[in-house]
Amino acid sequence: MPIKVVLFTSSEYFKTILLLNESLSSIEMPKYKVRVFEHFLDYLYRRNIANIDMVGLLGLNVIAKDLHDSGLFRYTLSEIEMRINSSSLKYVLRQAHEISSKELRAVGVKYINQMDKNGNVIVDLIESLVIHCE
Answer with the residue of higher pLDDT: 31 or 83. Answer: 83
Across 100-124, average pLDDT: 80
Per-residue pLDDT band at 106 (split at 50, 70, 90): very high
Helices (H), the chain: 3-10, 12-20, 34-46, 54-66, 70-83, 89-98, 102-118, 121-133
95 Cβ contact list (under 8 Å, min separation 6):
58, 61, 62, 101, 104
What average pLDDT does the segment 33-55 reach? 84
Q: With 90 as the cut, is the pLDDT of residue 87 above it?
A: no
* Angle ∠(83,84,89) on CA atoms, nearest 5: 160
Q: Locate CATH 3.30.710.10 in the chain.
A: 1-83
Type of residue numbered 1: M
Q: From CA 6, how far away is CA 78, in angstroms rounded?
A: 24
Instruction: Give the mean model confidence (pLDDT) for residues 12-16.
Output: 66
Q: Is domain 1-83 classified as CATH 3.30.710.10?
A: yes
pLDDT for 134 beyond 70 = no
Q: What does the pLDDT average to over 16-27?
A: 64
Residue 51's pLDDT is what? 87
Confidence at residue 1, expressed as pLDDT on a 0 to 100 scale = 46
Mean pLDDT for the stretch of residues 79-83: 94
Task: List, in order, residues 6 or more apart from 37 with CB less than 8 Å away.
Answer: 29, 63
